[in-house]
Amino acid sequence: MLTSAGVFDIFPRLVCAGIGCIYGCSTGRLRRLSHNDIGITKGGKTRFIGVGTMLIDILTIFPKMFEDVLNTSILKIALQKGVVRIGLHNIRDYSTDKHRKTDDAPYGGGPGMIMTCDPVFRAVEAVRTAERKDSHLVLLTPQGRTFTQKVARELSQKSGLMLLCGRYEGFDERIRTGLKPDEISVGDYVLSGGEIAAMIVVDAVVRLLPGALGCGASTADESFENGGLDYPHYTSPTEYRGMKVPEVLLSGHHAEIEKWRREQARKRTRKRRPDLSDEQADDSDTQNGEERRD
C-alpha cells in the first residue's frame, strides 16, 4: 500500500524496497528513503513503477561510502528524475555469525583475510527479487576485464545491475565459480576495496542513461565515445593572461569549427594515446573508408 500517495504521484519512482536502502526523491530534495517513507512493499514483494528506469543494487560492507557520491551532481539529479534507482545493501546484514563477520583467514596460510561465501551468496540471493531477475551481476576486482567507455555503454543497456564490492585480500574463489559474475576492473592498480570501483561504474553508466544529463547535453562528443580523446574546449574570456581562444572558434563558421575540432581530437589522440589511434584506424578500415567523427 502506498502510505504517501501524493508524494508517490509526483515522483512515481520513489520506493522503499524493504531490503537495504533505496535512494530517491520524495519532496524534490534527494534523501535516503526510510522504510516509513513510502511503503509499497506488500506480502514481501516490492512494486516499482517506472518501466525503463534502471535499477542498480550495490552490495558492500560499507554502504555509507556511497551516500555523498549519490547525493551529488549528475547522480543526484538522475535519481531525482527517476532515471535510475539505486539500492544499497550491507553484506553484513546477511552474515549469520554473531559478530556479523564476512571474512576469514585463507586456507593454506598467507596474509590478509578473504571474503567468505555465505554472506555474499545470501546477500545476492536476497537482493535478486523478481524485479531483479535479469539484473546483471558484476564483481569489482582487479582481476576482471578492464572497464572502458564501451563496457559502460554495454552495461547501460541492461535493465539492472548488481554490483558486488569486495574488501580484504579478495573473495573466496567459490563466489566466482558459484555466482558467475561479470568480473570488472577499473584499471591496473589495486584499491582497498571494490567500493570506489563501483562508484566509477555507477557514474559512467548513469550519465549514459537517457534523461540523465540536462537538456541538450550529450555524451556523443566526449572522450572515448568515438574511439579517441575529446577536442580542446574554450569559454570566456577570449583572451586570458595572453592566451587566446583560437580564431576559428570565434568565426561563427560551423563547418570550419567542426573540422578544426575533428583535427584537434585526432592530433591529441595520436600524441597522448597512440593505442587509441591504432584502434581508430582499425575501426575506420572496417567501415569501408567512411569518415568517422573523431
Beta carbon of residue 55, minimum distance to ligand ADE (angstroms, whole number): 21
In the structure grid, which three cell numbers stand for residue 109, read together? Answer: 596460510
In the structure grid, which three cell numbers stand for residue 82, read together? Answer: 527517476
CA dist 259 and 123 (Å) reads 52
Instruction: For residue 170, give the DSSP letter.
Output: E
Q: Which is nearer to ligand ADE, 24 or 193 (CB)?
A: 193
Beta carbon of residue 19, minimum distance to ligand ADE (angstroms, whole number): 24
Beta carbon of residue 174, minimum distance to ligand ADE (angstroms, whole number): 18
User: Among 48-56, 60-68, 135-143, 215-223, which window interacts with ligand ADE (CB under 6 A)?
Assistant: 135-143
Give the strand pairing for 160-165 and 136-146.
parallel
**Structural contact between residues 54 and 157, judged by C-beta atoms closer than 8 angstroms:** no
CA dist 131 and 159 (Å) reads 10
Q: Which residues contact 270 (CB under 8 A, 6 or more apart)?
A: 277
Beta carbon of residue 178, minimum distance to ligand ADE (angstroms, whole number): 19
CA dist 293 and 221 (Å) reads 9
CA dist 292 and 16 (Å) reads 45
* Binding-site size, ligand ADE (CB under 6 A): 12
User: Among 62-70, 84-92, 134-142, 207-215, which window interacts with ligand ADE (CB under 6 A)?
Assistant: 134-142
Q: Which is nearer to ligand ADE, 154 or 258 (CB)?
A: 154
Q: What letters, b where the CB count within 10 A reaches 16 and e where it falls short, cover 187-205?
A: eeeebebbbebbbbbbbbb
Residue nearest to ligand ADE according to CB distances in the complex: 197
Per CB under 6 A, the list member of 53, 95, 102, 141 interacting with ligand ADE is 141
Per CB under 6 A, the list member of 79, 123, 127, 140 interacting with ligand ADE is 140
| Residue 30 phi, psi (nearest 5) | -70, 135
Binders in 152-171 for ligand ADE, by CB under 6 A: none
Q: Which is nearer to ligand ADE, 82 or 142 (CB)?
A: 142
CA dist 238 and 249 (Å) reads 10
**Structural contact between residues 147 and 193, judged by C-beta atoms closer than 8 angstroms:** no
CA dist 41 and 1 (Å) reads 7
Q: Which is nearer to ligand ADE, 190 or 220 (CB)?
A: 190
CA dist 290 and 264 (Å) reads 19
Beta carbon of residue 143, minimum distance to ligand ADE (angstroms, whole number): 9
User: Among 94-102, 137-145, 209-217, 284-292, which window interacts with ligand ADE (CB under 6 A)?
Assistant: 137-145
Beta carbon of residue 190, minimum distance to ligand ADE (angstroms, whole number): 5
Q: Which is nearer to ligand ADE, 79 or 191 (CB)?
A: 191
Residue 289 vs residues 140, 234, 281, 285: alpha-carbon distances, Å: 38, 31, 10, 6
Binders in 179-238 for ligand ADE, by CB under 6 A: 185-187, 189-191, 193-194, 197
Beta carbon of residue 89, minimum distance to ligand ADE (angstroms, whole number): 18
Beta carbon of residue 292, minimum distance to ligand ADE (angstroms, whole number): 30
Q: Which is nearer to ligand ADE, 189 or 285 (CB)?
A: 189
Contacts with ligand ADE by CB under 6 A lie at 140-142, 185-187, 189-191, 193-194, 197
